[in-house]
Structure 1
Amino acid sequence: MRRKIPSTTALVCFEAAARHESFTKASLELSSTQGAVCRQIASLEEFLNVELFRRSRRGVKLTEAGLSYSRRVATQLDAVERDTLSVMGQQGSNVIEVAVVPTFGTQWLLPRLKHFQALHPDITVNLTNRTRPFLFADTDFDAAIYFGDGEWSGTQAYALMMEAPVPVCSPATIANQPSLDAETLARMPLLQQSTRPYAWRQWFGSLGMNVSRDMTGPRYELFSMLAQAAMHDMGVALIPPFLIRRELEEGRLTVCNAHALTSTKAYHLMIPERKVESASLKAFQNWLTTEARGYTAQNQG
């Protein structure tokens, strides 16, 4: 059955004309004539049976329907362009698409990824931020790195490393004190992470404390956001030290209590069961788990 879709040429002309609100500027951008652009948009309006522009002697103006449609068309054309460039860029190469939780990806994985590239120059690893689980069937991802219990339907889980977050803040927050006890921390502004909503409750609970305000305070989705807020004296944050190593070494953040929160959850590499036999994914999985074990052994205790 033939799809009810207008011509791509008409859509491209419409998107350019809508963006500029000018047929003349659209024709210049597309290296076409104004008449050709006008004809394409007229054919699109006829196809849709909807007026997209109001014409006047002063020029053209998008109608409400035209404005709404232009936003949708622009989004879809951008997606088609990205997919096209992706396919063009993959010619002759072996590419794996990995979804990764952002701060782990930028602070721990990326600095080590060059070693994988050196070992496997024929494999390209693309990383995309994803903070929460998703359905692999609905995406183009070949694997994902996430923090959790390793339960993800239809996937094989490979444990990487624990988090063990500790309370950190800016040196100015604690003045000249070497550390703060848990009772003092309980009275300070607590920075919360939306993907770890019970972190502070669990941290205080591990010390046998029941703090009524352990879930109050501003919430941020990423550890990098928590780190920035802590560096700007907004409060105390629970962050794994390996994600803020540079900030700690440079003195922009300091560990204000050495007690670490232990958890049954960990970072995992998740690979869909239908792809576990992929040679490139096996190479990535072997390298990543080896790197994680080496890092844990070097830094445990």
Structure 2
Amino acid sequence: MVARSRSITVAAEKLFLSQGAVSRQILDLEKFVGVSLFSRGSKGLELTTAGQQLAAKIQPVLSQLEEVFASLKSPGRETLNISAMPSFGLEIISPAVNDFLQRNPQYLINFLTTVGDVNLEEEEFDAAIVLGEPRSRDGNPELLCTPSYFPYISADLAPCNQAVDHSVLYQHKLIGQLRHPDAWPEYFEQLGLVFSPDMVGGNHSMLTTSAQAVLQGTGVALLPEYIVHKYVMDGKVRRICDTPYLPRCSSYYLVSKKSVRERLIFLEFRSWLMQLCSALDSARPARHL
């Protein structure tokens, strides 16, 4: 929205957020990816080269989310405003939320994708789905799930009719995650294998772009099953081994405002979400912290 309007003020008005909230989201995103995304030009804010590259990669994901959630909107219903991570919103919520709304036509769930920390009071969300344990306990964080990660590779590089073993990890470049820089060395140690930093061909800031890199044959990535499930079912991607990896700070949490926790719409959405997420974390059911 900021990139389109070239103005934080205009973007804040369209998103019904404060200017400070929008500015903080930009700073959080820049901190998350480790580069500046905007610069100020003669016509307002402009995307940097890194910002243009990131926007090109994530725009298809955000467009899909906007289309899904926009199609569900209808006036005159009780509303709940939820923030969610892009990959979680696209791969977990959007395929299933229509079932919840069909069973509860009196409700309207508005979603906005965010990256980084979420301040419920400043950004006027009722609740948020966040990655990593929240620093503050004010949002009454509840653990949703802790997905296991597995190594995946394109079927073009390792055809499904051929056996694979750990040697595949040495035959192709490893795709890293900026959020989990120690994932590959820790996973190699877990497997009893020798790791070298030059085995990593590049790092991604989002799970969805890592999955796309795998699909395009760039190399091998450690990913949760829900991100690549459809590609595995289509025979486009395959898992190299069944040894799971649990990155630090990989759990998803639900945080909420105190004022919303007794509302029926929130209680029913929370119950539905907990059940949905339990399938991603069969070894450890969701629990209250």
Q: Is the 8 A contact 1:194 1:219 kept in 2?
A: yes
Check 1:249–1:282 CA distance in 2 against 1; reply closer, same or farther (3 A cut). same
The residue aligned with 1:11 is none
Higher helix share: 1
Aligned length: 225
Choose which of 226, 236, 239 in structure 2 pairs with 1:252: 236
Check 1:279–1:299 CA distance in 2 against 1; reply closer, same or farther (3 A cut). closer
Note the residue ranges of structure 1 that are not aligned, 5 or more in a row. 1-69
Q: Is the 8 A contact 1:201 1:215 kept in 2?
A: no
Check 1:92–1:172 CA distance in 2 against 1; reply closer, same or farther (3 A cut). closer
- Tell me, what secondary structure is at the counterpart of 1:248? helix
Check 1:92–1:129 CA distance in 2 against 1; reply closer, same or farther (3 A cut). same
Q: Is the 8 A contact 1:156 1:276 kept in 2?
A: no
Q: Rg: which structure is higher?
A: 1
TM-score, scaled to structure 1: 0.65
Choose which of 141, 151, 159 in structure 2 pairs with 1:167: 151
Choose which of 85, 91, 111 in structure 2 pairs with 1:107: 91
Q: Is the 8 A contact 1:197 1:215 kept in 2?
A: no
Choose which of 76, 81, 105 in structure 1 pairs with 2:9: 76
- Tell me, what secondary structure is at the counterpart of 2:163? coil
The residue aligned with 2:104 is 120
Deviations 1:202-225 (A, max 9, x none): 222322445231783312122111
The aligned amino acid for 1:267 is: Y
Deviations 1:142-175 (A, max 9, x none): 1111222355441112222221111111112235
The residue aligned with 2:121 is 137
Q: Is the 8 A contact 1:158 1:289 kept in 2?
A: no
Tell me: higher relative CO, structure 1 or 2? Use CA pairs within 8 A at least 6 residues apart. 2
Note the residue ranges of structure 2 that are not aligned, 5 or more in a row. 18-69
The residue aligned with 2:273 is 288
The aligned amino acid for 1:171 is: A
Deviations 1:20-79 (A, max 9, x none): xxxxxxxxxxxxxxxxxxxxxxxxxxxxxxxxxxxxxxxxxxxxxxxxxx954xx53454
Query: Which runs of 4 or more aligned residues in structure 1 lie more than 4 Å from their structure 2 counterparts after TM superposition?
Result: 294-300
Using the alignment, how far apart are the partners of 1:71 and 1:146 within structure 2?
27
The aligned amino acid for 2:87 is: T
For the aligned residue pairs, the C-alpha RMSD in angstroms reads 3.1
